[in-house]
Amino acid sequence: MKKVAILGSTGSIGRNTLDVIRQHPDAFEVVALAAGRDVERLTEQVRRWRPKIVSVASGEAASALAARLRPEERPAIEVGSEGAATVAAGAGAEVVVAAIVGAAGLIPTFAAVQAGCLVALANKESLVIAGEVLVKAVRESGARILPVDSEHNAIHQCLRAGRADEIKRLLLTASGGPFRTATRQDLLHVTPKEALAHPTWIMGKKISIDSATLMNKGLEVIEATHLFNVPAQMVDVVVHPQSIVHSMVEFIDGSTMAQLGSHDMRHAIQYALSWPERRHASSAPMNLLDIGQLTFEAPNTEVFRCLSLAYQAVESGGDTPARLNAANEIAVEAFLQGRIAFLEIAEIIEATLANDPVRSVATVEDILEGDRRAREAAAKLIARG
């Protein structure tokens, strides 16, 4: 029975992970949970799964959680980023599901890697901003990273058909988001409500906006270069509105392997938890006859400039991906608050990167410093209007 820790247990990925574990009680044991401020949901999870240790975002949340639990129900309760790192590395977990959204997930994910765990990675930002440092830590600790993002998970499955030196291209598929056919003129007055209306997936607010701008796909390009040790020139993006082909790998002999599946994140989560084996799933099988047809088209990078900015960031290297991600997080939050327009998200990111030279990174501290500078710069740009 594999011991599992979940970082971000009250979010969408965390809840789906617990559902997968519920379906396979003989295979997995929950030993630790990390959440933010959703104390009500975490209380239910603690009572159901009886973890040894949990963490929350603040002392206030820790007090509220302790007050809701009877003494015999209460696990050890940790606080903040350091608490999440303790959950990742201090509970004896063999598998750590890293699903804390954004740069906040870096420290606990890094702790899991240093502990030599198998990391089921849903927090793409950790590899985006700290890919070089994380990959080095993986080599040193003997840890392994298995992607939970549906696209990278699909590529991992496709690569079981060939060797690394046989890869010609990785093809990341994108739904195109809610504005797939829009022009720049169409996007001038987009509202947050419209941008959050993803046509295929039910996701959190931040990732939904990233999908609408195609920044989500840009971050996935950067993540793929580190996960699969390929240059950005070998990673292409293809818009696939049906979201049935989750991604593909083209090999040097002309063969292309594709992984198909329904719109259910539990498949990728179960694959990562169960690897290298496959286990039966309770979800309904996909019916190709019901789907009818699969279509593909090129992304419009003139309209959705965030994708191009991500390619530029990975080519620039150093702390540029970290600054790209930080500026994007600040700009997305400002858009959700109604402080900037939809198209200004890309403009804020571009200006933030242009106003600071590329700096080399060797440690997590170097990355966090780049992240800090970019957040300050982006916030100042937004405040100026």
Residues 161-204 pLDDT 10s: 999 999 999 999 999 999 999 999 999 999 999 999 877 766 77
Token digits of residue 254: 């002309």
Are 108 and 177 in a shared domain?
no
Structure tokens at 14: 């965390």
> Please, what's the b/e burial string for 133-159 (b: 16 or more CB within 10 A of its CB; e: otherwise)?
bbbebbeeeebebbbbbbbbbbbbbbb
> Does residue 124 share a domain with residue 110?
yes
Residue 225 inside a domain? The answer is: yes
The string of DSSP codes covering 66-85 is HHHS-GGG--EEEEHHHHHH
Sequence-distant (≥ 6) Cβ neighbours of residue 226 within 8 angstroms: 127, 131, 132, 134, 135
**Among residues 301, 334, 359, which one ends one of the domains?**
301
Residues 88 and 9 in one domain: yes
Give the pLDDT confidence score for residue 285 in this predicted structure: 79
What pTM did the predictor assign?
0.91
Write out pLDDT tens, residues 301-317.
999 999 999 999 999 99
What's the structural domain count of the chain? 3
CATH number of the domain where residue 69 is located: 3.40.50.720
Domain range for 234 is 150-256+287-301
Residue 263 included in any domain: no
User: Hey, which bits of 117-220 come out as E strands?
Assistant: 118-121, 144-147, 167-174
Integer Cα distance of 95 and 116 in angstroms: 10
Check whether residue 41 and residue 102 sit in a common domain.
yes
Q: Kindly provide the residue ranges of all beta strands, DSSP E only, lying in the chain, ordered along the sequence.
A: 2-7, 28-34, 53-56, 76-79, 95-98, 118-121, 144-147, 167-174, 235-239, 245-251, 256-260
What is the structure's pLDDT at 201? Answer: 67
